[in-house]
Amino acid sequence: MLQSIPGIGMKTAMFLIVVTDGFKKFETASQLCSYVGITPTIRESGSSVRGRSRISKVGNRKLRNLVFLAAFSAYRYNKACKALFDRIVAKGKSKKLALIAVANKLLKQAFAIAKSGLPHNENFVSKLA
pLDDT tens digits, one per residue of 7-23: 999 999 999 999 999 99
Number of neighbouring beta carbons within 10 Å of residue 117 = 7
Q: pTM of the full predicted structure?
A: 0.87
Q: Report the C-alpha gap between 17 and 93 in whole angstroms.
A: 32
Q: For residue range 46-80, what is the model confidence (pLDDT) as tens digits?
A: 776 677 778 888 888 999 999 999 999 999 999 99
DSSP classification of residue 4: G
All residues at 6 or more sequence positions from 31 whose CB lies less than 8 Å from its CB, including other chains: none
